[in-house]
Amino acid sequence: MRKGEAASAPGPMQGIKVLDIGTMIAAPLAGGVLADQGAEVIKVETPGLGDLMRYVGANCNGVGAMYQNVNRGKRSIALDLKTQEGVEVLHRLVEGVDVVIHNFRPGVAERLHADYATLSALNPQLVYLSVTGFGHEGPMSQKAAYDNVVQTFAGVAMSQTDPRVGEPSQYQQLFADKLTAHTACQAVTAALFARERGAGGQHVQLAMVDAVASFLWMDKAGTAQFKSADANLGLQASADPRLIKFKNGYAQAAPVSDSDFHGWCAAFGVDSSDPRVATLVDRASNNEVVKDISNQILENALELDVDETLARLEAADVPCAKAFVLHELPDHPQIQANGLFVETEHPLAGPMVEPQNPVHFSKTPSGCGSPSPALGADTTAILSELGYSEQDIARLREGTVVS
């Protein structure tokens, strides 16, 4: 594992300035990815409390792990957008940035004078990203939306039905937030690319439910893709989605091709000579036979050693992997070879292990941004850069417009 020397790498987004006025994860994580890739990101937070993500999840000496991962590499200004002077500061900031991102409910940005119409009038080249839970319009647009609620509505729970018990389940992680954030980040870079080609600034809208539903659709929609009554589910059981439980661990395999399938069966001591499962076409027509074989493999696995069986699968070139606990990955030889994790030092939390940006750019390497900022840590510096005098800044502090 490397030290966090990549934190100072310029990155492909060097020179792009982003103003993050969002909260929690869905929009701010998009800004965090852009910061990892070299953008200068200023995070606007409410004086006194700041982003609620500062207080959620694991923490060390007051530093939240999730806040650090979402907001590393950013600068923080504590600014009250509910005051006229706070809005004036915001507008001066907007004049000098390329991107504004937020995840307010529809109508909130307008009340804060931070909507696209207002800000684009100040900066016509602005790329303005607004993320909502259910959509910018429509009967559910005003509903509050958090990750688990979005997962349920957008089809995650029902697409994750456990075949053994028939009960739906959800991802035990912030799946919708993270997926939305990475979709948002790609959308921002696409809009910036379009601007470079002469399109100018634009409003980029993204609903969390849309990001999740479109992500699930390809392999989880079943026959809903087709309007024809002739549609059928096709091959289902060849690559059993269930984890394989061994006597001493868990693993997974993906026997898709003919050689995969027969190597999979042989590794578990299961006969696959039945002509009904000889080829992919045969298996597609005999799902129940394949299901029976899968069940036999799962039963045999209970008496087998996970590492020995994986060795047999690998010898047959069957795609497979052992199930690891997440905290084991930084020490795994493959992940170390990938260079994903780096050791960083936070001034309050001390030494940390973090994944740096997973994308490798050959000419503009990205990295792992500087430590997440304390609330308002850069307020004075940012205001000074905007042309505010020491007296102006003192007055704003006295009026609790900034902190």
Answer yes or no: are the C-beta atoms of 16 and 40 closer than 8 Å. Answer: yes
Q: Which two tokens stand for residue 123?
A: 């900066």
- Report the alpha-carbon distance of residue 13 to residue 15 in Å, rounded: 6
**DSSP β-ladder status, 40-45 and 17-20:** parallel
How many CB atoms neighbour CB 30 within 10 A? 31
Query: Of these residues, 36, 147, 177, 240, which one is catalytic?
Result: 177
**Is residue 39 a contact partner of residue 14, using CB atoms and an 8 Å limit?**
yes
* Closest by Cα among 385, 402, 379 to 85: 402
- Crossing angle of the two packed helices 258-267 and 306-315, in degrees rounded to 10: 150
**Known catalytic residue at 282:** no
Would you name the residues annotated as active-site residues? Answer: 177
